[in-house]
Structure 1
Amino acid sequence: MQSIKQTLERFKIVRLIVSIYRLRAVRALVPLVIIALVYLEGQHELKQVHLGLIIQELKRVPAEAIAQMMGVALLSVAVMSAYDYLIRRHFRLDIGRWSTFRFSWIANSFNNLIGFAGLAGVGLRTLLYRKSGVPAAVLAPAIVFLSPLMITGLSLFSWGNIFGLLPAAALLREHKWLVFAVWGMALYLPFFIILQRSSLFAKWVNRGQGRTPWLTVAASVGASFLEWLFAGITFWTIGSHLLGGVEFVAVFSIYVIAAIAGTLSMAPGGIGAFDLIALLGLTQLGYPSDKAMAVLVVYRLFYYLVPWLIGLALAALEIGLQGKKGSDRTSAGIEPSLNVWQKIWGWPGQYTFLSDLGVWALGKLVFVSGLLLLLSAATPELVYRLRLTEDLLSLPVMRISHHLSVLTGFMLILLSRGISLRVRRAYIWTSVLLSGGAVFTFTKGFDYEEALFLLLVALILWISRARFYRISVPVSRQNTAWWLVLTSFIALVYYLLGSYVHHGFLKHLPRGVEPEWLQRHSNVSVTAAGGLVLSWLLLTMLVTLRPHRKADGLFADRDMERLTRFLGENPGNPLTHMLFLGDKSFYWAQGGKVLFAFARARDKLVVLGDPLGPRSLINEGISEFRQTADLYGLAVVFYQATPAYLPLYHEQGYRFFKLGEEAAVPLADFTLSGKKNSDLRNVKSRFEREEYLFEVTAAPHPAALLDELHGISEEWLSGRSEKGYSLGWFKPSYLQLAPLALLRGKDGAVLAFASIAPGYDGGDTVSIDLMRHRKNAPNGTMDYLFVRLLEWAKEQGAGRFNLGNAPLSSVGRNSGALREEKLAHLVFVRGGHWYGFAGLRRYKEKFNPEWEPRYLAYPAVLTLSILTLDLVRLVSRHPEAKEDQL
């Protein structure tokens, strides 16, 4: 019966975890289901698509047509700024017209490509408008107002399908499930109008200023109408160039149906559903599958990818920090000078750091640059460009340039992570490779478009050069494995693409070109493997010689003599004595007046307890330590932080998680009298009656005694490994630094012992440290040892006796607690099978202690679940093991 009860309780814990992710899983399944449904409907058309013929169609498009298609696509994205101008006017946002346009372009281009049911656009608009000083009370209703109106234009066009103004009867007749999608989208428009005119909407969104005016409702629908109209015009323009003369109404009708399917799928950019429905519609009009797919590829490129790259560039150059000090280096006391671009734009808040989105965008631009080089190398250049390049350069130069382009592409992909992490050397190498890649693309086949793009990315990097301040970052095994898999997959795609295109184009090449083509592309497998291996070899050399070795020396200070002198002038805390274990490094801030004792856990420096030193210098000391750690991509975490220092951590932008509570007995009030302490009195009387001997021996201790205690420790461990970091372990040199409490039997043999840790606060606090006993020790042994220790400390004039921490005690009990803390509470209550959390709390309650909470203080950019695993690994790591050098 008891086992069944334990099983049910464990199930509750698992159910809580599952409930957190259940909704996300359901949302993720919706796009997959719709894409699978559309795929089943369009299997026949997909089988007719040939990649080689698609690329051939794309290569034949003249430059004037490309310019026209590109212009219409960029105009279509620009038209979407009507949304932002609408909320700017309706909510009287105090931002300029040009800033509104820039914000709109960034948000809409990201939302088009990434999507996630509009969440990408919502998040970026929130970030951008808050950056410009728009109050949250104004911004939240504006975002809520904007979100539902974006598909009203598509809903309006759905009515056009229903009433026959946009005929798509053949498509709807063959795929009947699309009828329900069209009607569902059409009914959204009246629902939207009713919602806009409702009193509830007026109260919560219009901020009590009355119902939404009819003019604003019409403007909302009109803005959405323009978005979808111009997107459809873009699709038709591309189709007219690639398919020949096409009727606008027929193609636009197909576009509307495809857009409805893509929107309902909630997939990023409607990818999959939109493309397959559009492919089905165009093939129904009699166009070949290869040409129809070419239309879709160009549409994706010009309407989604190119505007997104422009948005990436704008985000990389312009987006500033959004008020979270913990996510940037402002809190670490770093304030770089303005770069030229920031001064030109003159943004409000320009004196703060650029956000992580900016460097993330730069990293993705570099990643795209690497992919572009590989795509260019895997596909053939235009015949006239090959002939022109061969006239200007020799064939060996073209061949070498081709191989160097592949190598440069792989290197840029690998270095893109270093760009996102703001590493200075990654910026230097990337700048060189981008410039070299531009030369190689030019000399291998006169690909000036790609060369200009690479030079543009290099220019953006140069403008943003002030952001690359880090000396190095940790390189973990997990990240290395992930990037190895990713680059290997890219190399495989490069090989398959190059081989497929090579065979598909071979019969289409004019005479006189075939020898060069065969010589340059027949060994595509060698090029792919060689580029991958050489890029990883160069990266390995960079990592091996990386200046991160400087961090190992910088954080390797374990000067015990300096620590002793420091504690002679500054007070410590109950955890201070553990610094003499030798497993923690020291960082001396503020000219050596503030001490941080920490251990390394992957990319985190975990400080044990609060910093030591004058309170007035602690805040600046934390900033200094964080700044130094950030130069090497390391985050500073405070483990077992006390409530007294929480305001300082809060100013630094830290978040908190309650680890448990620490028990301290006020010795002035300690007594064994009274009914409540009868059990302890009985234990003491029994051990004294049986002539057990308690004594406290001062250091230094005889070697024979330490050998005897070592045998007790090994017996107590029973083959288990010692814990470390925040727990003491049996180390003779460490035990020689403080008194030892011994409990001997009648024969004089030691049955149990405990090491005593001074509080380094003038003798006011005494702490229990290492506790061990023999297996055959009688019941109540540790109770008696604790009672005698408390009496001894009281006799020595100490004010408090620290019994140590009770993990997860009083965590997550309130209904408003965080999910993670509620989960921790369940573990505390029901986790006795793995660790006696509740039992440890009850045991320490015997001595009537006062409880004080202890916290984990961590930067907001860290994920609590991953941080928890790192801390468990840190505490569980063998004390004598060398720290991770990842």
Structure 2
Amino acid sequence: MRKSWGSPKEWKIVNILASLYRVRLLRFFIPAAVIGLIYWEAKKELRQVDFGRALHLFRSLPTGEWAWLLTISLLAVASMSVYDFLIRGLYRLPLRASDTFRYAWIANTTNNLVGFAGVTGASLRMILYRNKQVPSKTLFRAVAFLSPISITGLSVLAWLGIFEVIPMRSAYPSYSWQIVAAWAVALYLPAFAFFQRTPLFAKWFRRDEGRFTWKMIGYGIGSSFIEWFFAGITFWLISLAMLPSPISIGHAYSIYTVSAIAGIISLVPGGLGGFDLTALIGFRRFGYGPDHAAAVLITFRMFYYLVPWFIGLIISAFEFSNNRNVQGSKDDDDAEEMEKALTGWQKIWNWPGRVGFIGELGAWSLGKLVFLSGLTLLSSAATPGLWRRLHVAEEILSIPLMKLSLQLSVIIGIMLIVLSRGISLRIKRAYRWTLFLIVAGAIFTLIKAFDFEEAIFLLIVAVLLWLSRDRFYRIGVPFSREQIAKWGLATFLLFWIYDLIASRTHPGSTRRIPPNADIRWLFTPQEQQTTIILGLAIAWLIFSMLWVLRPVRMGRYGATQGQRLKLQSFLEVNQGNLLTHMLFSGDKSFYWAAEHQVLIPFAKVRNKLAILSDPIGKPELISGAIQEFQGYADRYALKVVFYQVSPEYLPIYHENGFRFFKLGEDAIVPLNTFTLSGKRNTNLRTVKNRFEREGFHFEVLKPPFNSIVIERLQKISNDWLKGRHEKGYSLGWFQETYLQLAPIAILKDGGGLIIAFATLAPGYDDGSTLSIDLMRHLKETPNGTMDMLFISLLDWAKENGYSRFNLGMAPLSRVGQSHGAMREEKLARLVFRYGSHWYGFEGLRKYKQKFSPAWEPRYLAYPRGLYLPTLLLELVWLISRRPRVPNESNS
């Protein structure tokens, strides 16, 4: 009788699984709750905002004002480099002033936009400074120093508001949650000053590196105050330019301070939503309309966040090396040290996740620049141009040509957004298309309305792409239905946003048409919708054609008969391993590395190439062969994982950047010591004697097998499968051509009928090892049938000169027993102990243990950055899916 689920021990599995996701859920719940609270309070202001009017106010800003405000904003962002100059001086980093400023700009602008708790900025500094040979220990201490310091400047502003140096209570009532949040941030400063002297604080923030000195504390607070002070100045000057009546510096600072606090506690990148909604409330309290307040926020976001980030992306595109280094153990060690350097509160929120993507920042930056180019074309097409420029364009160009350029701008914008992912992934064909489309987009945006700013930006991106042309080396990338659905949803979302902006900013809808203006070139709202629908249709039609006509380079799966014959010849001079015989089944592809001296068998699962066991070939060539295969996989943006590798090659995998998870242990019976004598083997002797008394007969058949034998084995196999389909990859399956390659052990009943069989797999190690492959029997067989088959097989193998017999792997055997084991391995240990409902993990080990095997561990080797639970599920699916072999007629 199956026992019920729910015992205290079994609930340990549930508790551990829950703990793995509790913090993740918290990371999403808190921002959602805070944003929901702010939205509830600001929904009245939001309903009154005319975003079309706000966008018009932003676009109609005089050029001189644009230049002045942009200059102030860039200077404010530049002031943030004081952090980097501070740690450069305190820790004596061997950096030039120009390098320090450049690295500060990249780290700070990216952290402003997408970072949380300084993790993004810390990650970027780690990579940038490491390239300048900064000692790792010094670098980790310097980066960790900035973590608790960055909020102290905002805390100073909060105290100024509490003491009414800036009129914070005039903007927000003293009983509101905003003031409570301001008090919380204000109290951070004295709490920081007090607790920094305690061992607990040193451990939490400094990783036992020691306490801060008061001098360091003073420098840090001063640096932080400079950042927040100049950001507030920028906010005030932008407010002066965009609001209909002047606003005092005190009022502007009160709005900015409380809004910044709301953005911090919302835990959203850049404070998006929390900052903006809170600012709308503050402007309303001082009597400013929502349209002008929204214009202030749009301008501030553009000048203080987006434009500096654009500049940072351009610098990043040049800064990072053209050559992509294969991630090695040093990178892994540094990444692990980076995780240690992060403070406790950063680890809790783990934003933005793993930092491994930073090594690809050059290509990542180019991809984001292309994405922004597409958005630029769409926003430019959705919003009307300046009337003076339109008048000049009308005199030079025809109205149909201007409308056609507008239509083409929309199409190119959508295509660039879709292509941006290919740029980030370094796809060669994506680079060629993108370069052509960006240049074309620059031309069309000039033709449609003389928007030379957008054209200049697009041409800058085109130049950056051309200068980086050597980076694009990948032939293709995996492209699943899920990804197609995501991009389809994203483009239709763009349709909705485009239509919303275009309808809100159309001159006819907002009565902003100058006298005697000719608006024949403008699209009506209905034409705008037709434009975006047609643009989407044409863009997706082109990409569908490219998808259908794309060169298929990874489409062939499995090994052809010719490749298997080559494998047979290869094994005559090279030793195999315990899983080598599975390669003859045909469902694994072969990659011949090191000038055909090393074989790497693999199968593709999603965006990964899973290699079965260790590479086969001369040991001294294995490391180079792995690097060669990593390069091959990287051309298609695929990850490499090794399944069921042996301990002897672990140092080689480690040197090539792999981490390890113990899958279980193989049961290897040493045949020279195997015997049925002794008290321990009484049960085995009893089984053998009973079957021999009842007339059962064991025999090993050697190929070729006649059709009568194959038909009988097929019947047994079908009865054993019970309608289930065969599995593959690391398991053999019933296929006549595969069965004809090795001996088959059979067990006959007293009447001479075969009731059970097991296919054998040679170890290709000079006749030393023999493994069991398929094991199948009729449903109605006596108890102990498989015991009898195993006993007879072991005796036969011993008599025929084999020294080892492999009974197969016991999954999760002796996994996670050490106190210092990985969290995933400890969870696997609980599954092994209490997971008998789903799979007989513990029972399988106990069954094989009665044959007195030696247990050899087997590992999964995978690169850093892969989420292990997902990877394990993908491997289970790979093994469980129906085996496929190449069609020889098409080979």
TM-score (normalizing by structure 2): 0.92
**Structure 2 counterpart of 1:167:** 167
**Structure 1 counterpart of 2:836:** 832
Question: In the alignment, is residue 457 of structure 1 matched against residue 461 of structure 2?
Answer: yes
Q: Secondary structure at the match of 1:598?
A: strand
**Structure 1 counterpart of 2:185:** 185
**Structure 2 counterpart of 1:302:** 303
Equivalent positions of 1:14-413 (< 5 A) are 14-173=14-173, 176-196=176-196, 212-243=212-243, 244-319=245-320, 325-326=326-327, 355-413=359-417
2:126, 2:564 → 1: CA distance?
50
2:553 to 527, 539, 550: 550
2:580, 2:805 → 1: CA distance?
15
Deviates more, 1:302-311 or 1:152-161: 152-161
Which residues of structure 1 form unaligned runs of 5+? 332-351
CA offset digits 1:373-429 (Å, max 9, x no partner): 111111111111111111111111111110110010010011011011110111111
Q: Using a 3 Å threshold, how does the CA distance of structure 1 residues 327 and 646 change in structure 2: closer, same or farther?
A: closer
Q: CA deviation at 1:361?
A: 1.8
Q: CA deviation at 1:327?
A: 7.3
CA offset digits 1:179-208 (Å, max 9, x no partner): 222222222222233345567778998899
Q: Secondary structure at the match of 1:23?
A: helix
CA offset digits 1:462-485 (Å, max 9, x no partner): 222221111111211111111111
1:473, 1:358 → 2: CA distance?
18
Q: CA deviation at 1:5?
A: 4.5
**Structure 1 counterpart of 2:520:** 516
2:863, 2:487 → 1: CA distance?
26
Equivalent positions of 1:420-439 (< 5 A) are 420-439=424-443
1:866, 1:315 → 2: CA distance?
32
Deviates more, 1:663-672 or 1:17-26: 17-26
Paired residues, number:
862
CA offset digits 1:783-833 (Å, max 9, x no partner): 011101100000001100111111111112223222222222222222222
- Check conservation: 1:330, 1:353, Cα contact below 8 A: no
**Structure 2 counterpart of 1:337:** none
1:814 to 818, 821, 838: 818
CA offset digits 1:110-169 (Å, max 9, x no partner): 121123233222222233223332233222222222111112222112222122211133
1:15, 1:324 → 2: CA distance?
40
**Structure 2 counterpart of 1:341:** none
2:206, 2:91 → 1: CA distance?
8
2:381, 2:845 → 1: CA distance?
66
Q: Using a 3 Å threshold, how does the CA distance of structure 1 residues 752 and 653 change in structure 2: closer, same or farther?
A: same
Equivalent positions of 1:334-733 (< 5 A) are 355-502=359-506, 505-513=509-517, 515-516=519-520, 518-519=522-523, 522-547=526-551, 549-552=552-555, 558=561, 559-733=563-737
1:693, 1:702 → 2: CA distance?
20
Q: Secondary structure at the match of 1:668?
A: coil
Corresponding letter in the other structure for 1:681: R
- Check conservation: 1:73, 1:303, Cα contact below 8 A: yes
Question: In the alignment, is residue 791 of structure 1 matched against residue 795 of structure 2?
Answer: yes
- Check conservation: 2:322, 2:471, Cα contact below 8 A: no
Corresponding letter in the other structure for 1:759: G
Q: Secondary structure at the match of 1:669?
A: coil
Q: Secondary structure at the match of 1:236?
A: helix
- Check conservation: 1:35, 1:273, Cα contact below 8 A: yes
Deviates more, 1:860-869 or 1:46-55: 860-869
Corresponding letter in the other structure for 1:77: V
Corresponding letter in the other structure for 1:156: V
1:631, 1:692 → 2: CA distance?
57
Q: Using a 3 Å threshold, how does the CA distance of structure 1 residues 563 and 47 change in structure 2: closer, same or farther?
A: same
CA offset digits 1:278-311 (Å, max 9, x no partner): 2222222222210111001100111011111212
Q: Using a 3 Å threshold, how does the CA distance of structure 1 residues 272 and 209 change in structure 2: closer, same or farther?
A: closer
Q: CA deviation at 1:74?
A: 0.5
1:449, 1:728 → 2: CA distance?
63
1:551, 1:208 → 2: CA distance?
50
Q: Secondary structure at the match of 2:808?
A: strand
- Check conservation: 1:695, 1:741, Cα contact below 8 A: yes
**Structure 2 counterpart of 1:845:** 849
Q: Secondary structure at the match of 1:656?
A: strand
RMSD: 2.6
Corresponding letter in the other structure for 1:134: V
- Check conservation: 2:439, 2:459, Cα contact below 8 A: yes
CA offset digits 1:697-734 (Å, max 9, x no partner): 11111210111111111111111111111111111111
- Check conservation: 1:141, 1:204, Cα contact below 8 A: no
CA offset digits 1:560-590 (Å, max 9, x no partner): 2211111111111221111111112211112
1:440, 1:68 → 2: CA distance?
29
Deviates more, 1:306-315 or 1:448-457: 306-315
Deviates more, 1:84-93 or 1:310-319: 310-319
**Structure 1 counterpart of 2:807:** 803
Corresponding letter in the other structure for 1:157: L
TM-score (normalizing by structure 1): 0.93
1:432, 1:202 → 2: CA distance?
55
CA offset digits 1:752-774 (Å, max 9, x no partner): 11111111111111111111111
- Check conservation: 1:131, 1:322, Cα contact below 8 A: no
Runs of 4+ in 1 over 6 A off after TM superposition: 199-211, 321-324, 327-331
Question: In the alignment, is residue 773 of structure 1 matched against residue 774 of structure 2?
Answer: no
- Check conservation: 1:321, 1:328, Cα contact below 8 A: no
Q: Secondary structure at the match of 2:116?
A: coil
Q: Using a 3 Å threshold, how does the CA distance of structure 1 residues 298 and 354 change in structure 2: closer, same or farther?
A: closer
CA offset digits 1:588-633 (Å, max 9, x no partner): 1122211112222222222211111111111112222222222222
- Check conservation: 1:196, 1:217, Cα contact below 8 A: no
Deviates more, 1:631-640 or 1:755-764: 631-640
Corresponding letter in the other structure for 1:91: Y
Deviates more, 1:151-160 or 1:314-323: 314-323
Q: Secondary structure at the match of 1:626?
A: helix
Corresponding letter in the other structure for 1:253: S
- Check conservation: 1:739, 1:756, Cα contact below 8 A: yes
2:6, 2:286 → 1: CA distance?
65
- Check conservation: 1:117, 1:267, Cα contact below 8 A: no
1:127, 1:398 → 2: CA distance?
46
